[in-house]
Amino acid sequence: MKLLMILMLAALPPLCYADSGCKLLEDVVEKTINSDISIPEYKELLQEFTDSEAAAEAMGKFKQCFLSQSHRTLKNFGLMMVILASS
């Protein structure tokens, strides 16, 4: 799962850095940990970041990793991302 996270973050355009308060990164993290967003919706929302069918499939698998987590884990992950972005 850590490798998938690194790959997904690397796929984002280098428009911002973690400590800059990048809205794009915040939106992607929020959509990733939101269990109300299904895999097809997630792929559609982030379609601009995929350049191939393989990338879209990887995004679906990435989202599935988060859908199988508990709400507590997702909340903690969101907090971790806030801490990482502000450090």
Please state the domain extents for the chain. 2-86
Q: Is the pLDDT confidence value at 25 over 50?
A: yes
> What is the assigned CATH class of domain 2-86?
mainly alpha
Q: Name the band, by pLDDT with cuts 50, 70 and 90, for residue 38.
A: very high
How distant, in Å, are the alpha carbons of 39, 70, 72 from that of 7? Answer: 17, 22, 24
Q: Given this model, what pLDDT does residue 22 score?
A: 74
Structure tokens at 66: 């988060």
Of residues 65 and 81, the one with the higher pLDDT is: 65
Q: Distance between CA 34 and CA 23 in Å, rounded?
A: 16
The answer, as to whether pTM is greater than 0.85, is no
In the chain, the amino acid numbered 51 is: D
pLDDT the model gives residue 82: 77
Q: What percent of the chain has pLDDT over 70?
A: 74
